């Protein structure tokens, strides 16, 4: 205790002498103030321009949407026939300028009610696709509005189609079940003056087995159902890819790969393992025949023009071949090795490309890994978003290799 010492010997209390602020401090403050002002101005300006663009787009949308039937057209028709009605060369007939649209209102209504399955020639172009029937999903009033809208916008005909016209056509269609058998039947039944149409050949599409439908909706005891991730019609959602319209051998190969571990997926491995091989074959066949409209929309902020360039032409500077050079024109696939990529869910496409790039890093020299390794993140998003804007592969047009 003796060495305790009372601290009374403080000699100093702090104070602040009057010295000037060093000049560099002022320079830094001024430089930062200028930077801050510019940053805020640039941000506000970008926000202002974006706001004006949003306003313009919203106004245009409002104008279009204000027309009766416009909402239905967008929801039901535009994913295939395109919002401007131009169709897809080689895949979906155009509405704009189509003689079918310009003809008597009953033609449009009856096509809407029955759908088309078979080859058709429109304005000199040949198509061989599948249009669904809307008889069960839309009522008379809705069909009347769509027909009115389509005829007014693409057929230059302002006369309205009334629900009673649709009701009459529906009564007629009850006596003519199934889709129109191509342009041939339409020409014979409704429009004798239509240009010559190709002959109809009976379709190979078979009605699905009820046990397969149960599998799709409810799954096996040991796994999820197909529909819980891929949607009721195989349209896909987010990371779960669109599988409708993919070729049967491709789908079967993937299911077997998931089950065997050759392709890894925490979600698909237990499902594929729980399926018997016969079920795999049946499911692959079922989904290959589904003509589901695209549910994919760009969602990754990818640059669509860059995506289009990569898909059509590739990027020779980076050694990236065009997607379509293998996956077929319009990305509709070349069975059995190259699956359709058009209308695929963008999150799936980007994730799959990243997965291929990972395989390349792990030493794989296979085709897709070596291509994907040259794509950076922005390119992956650009391709994925661009492909999502494309219409899906029309079923029934796949090359003969698939038909077995």
Whole-number Å distance between alpha carbons of 123 and 146:
22
Minimal distance, residue 54 CB to another protein, in Å: 10
Cβ-based nearer residue to another protein, 74 or 269: 269
**CB of 229 within 8 A of CB of 219?**
no
Q: Work out whether 32 is an interface residue with another protein (CB under 8 A).
A: yes
Q: Work out whether 176 is an interface residue with another protein (CB under 8 A).
A: no
Minimal distance, residue 261 CB to another protein, in Å: 16
Minimal distance, residue 52 CB to another protein, in Å: 8
Residue 277: what are its φ and ψ, rounded to 5°? Answer: -65, -35
Whole-number Å distance between alpha carbons of 181 and 273:
40
Q: How many residues line the site for another protein (CB under 8 A)?
A: 45
Cβ-based nearer residue to another protein, 37 or 211: 37
Q: Work out whether 267 is an interface residue with another protein (CB under 8 A).
A: no
Q: Work out whether 8 is an interface residue with another protein (CB under 8 A).
A: yes
Among 33, 60, 174, 189, binds another protein (CB under 8 A): 33
Cβ-based nearer residue to another protein, 122 or 350: 350
DSSP string, 90-151: TTB--STT-HHHHS-HHHHHHHHHH-EEEEEEETTEEEEEEE---TTTS-HHHHHHHHHHHH
Residue 373: what are its φ and ψ, rounded to 5°? Answer: -65, -20
Minimal distance, residue 208 CB to another protein, in Å: 36
Write the burial class of residue 301 (CB in 10 Å: 0-12 exposed, 13-18 middle, 19+ buried). Answer: exposed
Whole-number Å distance between alpha carbons of 242 and 348:
9
Q: Work out whether 12 is an interface residue with another protein (CB under 8 A).
A: yes
What does DSSP say about strands 116-122 and 125-131: parallel, antiparallel, or unpaired? Answer: antiparallel
Instruction: Give the binding range for another protein (CB under 8 A) out of 33-41, 80-88, 337-345, 385-393.
Output: 33-41
Cβ-based nearer residue to another protein, 13 or 278: 13
- The percent helix, strand, coil of the chain (3-state, each to 5) is 50, 5, 45
- End-to-end, the C-alpha distance of the chain in Å comes to 102
Cβ-based nearer residue to another protein, 18 or 365: 18
Cα atoms in the 13 Å half-sphere on the side-chain side of 88? 22
Report the site for another protein in 338-377 (rule: CB under 8 A): 350-351, 354-355, 357-358, 361, 377
Cβ-based nearer residue to another protein, 156 or 377: 377
Minimal distance, residue 21 CB to another protein, in Å: 5
Q: Work out whether 192 is an interface residue with another protein (CB under 8 A).
A: no
Minimal distance, residue 360 CB to another protein, in Å: 8
Residue labelled with tokens 């079967």:
252
Among 6, 206, 207, 363, binds another protein (CB under 8 A): 6
Minimal distance, residue 70 CB to another protein, in Å: 28
Whole-number Å distance between alpha carbons of 98 and 90:
15
Instruction: Give the binding range for another protein (CB under 8 A) out of 9-17, 75-83, 142-150, 253-261.
Output: 9-17
Q: Work out whether 266 is an interface residue with another protein (CB under 8 A).
A: no
Report the site for another protein in 110-129 (rule: CB under 8 A): none
Distances (CA, A) of 174 to 177, 205, 302, 310: 6, 22, 46, 48
- Residues found near another protein in the complex (CB under 8 A): 3-22, 25-26, 28-29, 32-33, 35-37, 39-40, 43-44, 47-48, 51, 350-351, 354-355, 357-358, 361, 377, 380
């Amino acid at each position: 205790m003796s060495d305790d010492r009372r601290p009374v010997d403080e000699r100093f209390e702090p104070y602040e002498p009057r010295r000037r602020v060093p000049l560099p401090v002022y320079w830094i403050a001024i430089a930062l103030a200028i930077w801050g002002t510019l940053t805020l101005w640039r941000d506000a300006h970008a926000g202002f321009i974006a706001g004006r663009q949003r306003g313009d787009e919203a106004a245009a949308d409002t104008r279009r949407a204000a027309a009766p039937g416009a909402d239905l057209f967008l929801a039901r028709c535009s994913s295939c026939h395109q919002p401007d009605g131009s169709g897809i060369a080689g895949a979906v007939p155009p509405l704009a300028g189509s003689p079918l649209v310009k003809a008597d209102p009953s033609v449009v209504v009856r096509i809407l009610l029955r759908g088309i399955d078979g080859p058709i020639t429109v304005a000199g172009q040949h198509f061989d696709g599948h249009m669904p029937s809307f008889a069960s999903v839309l009522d008379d009033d809705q069909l009347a509005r769509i027909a009115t809208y389509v005829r007014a916008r693409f057929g230059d005909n302002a006369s309205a189609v009334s629900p009673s016209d649709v009701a009459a056509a529906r009564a007629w269609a009850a006596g003519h079940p199934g889709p129109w058998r191509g342009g041939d039947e339409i020409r014979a039944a409704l429009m004798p003056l239509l240009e010559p149409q190709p002959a109809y050949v009976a379709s190979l599409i078979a009605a699905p087995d009820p046990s397969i439908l149960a599998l799709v909706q409810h799954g096996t005891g040991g796994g999820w159902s197909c529909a819980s991730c891929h949607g009721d019609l195989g349209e896909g959602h987010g990371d779960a890819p669109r599988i409708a319209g993919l070729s049967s051998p491709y789908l079967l190969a993937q299911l077997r790969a998931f089950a065997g571990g050759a392709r890894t997926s925490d979600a698909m491995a237990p499902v594929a393992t729980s399926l018997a091989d016969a079920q795999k074959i049946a499911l692959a066949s079922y989904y290959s025949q589904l003509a589901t409209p695209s549910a994919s929309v760009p969602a990754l902020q990818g640059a669509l023009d860059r995506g289009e360039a990569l898909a059509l032409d590739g990027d020779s500077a980076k050694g990236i071949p065009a997607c379509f050079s293998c996956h077929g024109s319009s990305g509709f696939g070349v069975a059995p090795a190259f699956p359709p990529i058009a209308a695929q869910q963008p999150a799936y496409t980007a994730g799959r490309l990243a997965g291929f790039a990972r395989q390349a890093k792990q030493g794989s020299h296979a085709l897709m890994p070596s291509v994907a390794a040259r794509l950076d993140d922005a390119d992956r998003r650009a391709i994925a978003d661009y492909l999502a804007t494309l219409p899906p592969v029309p079923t029934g047009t796949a090359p003969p290799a698939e038909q077995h």
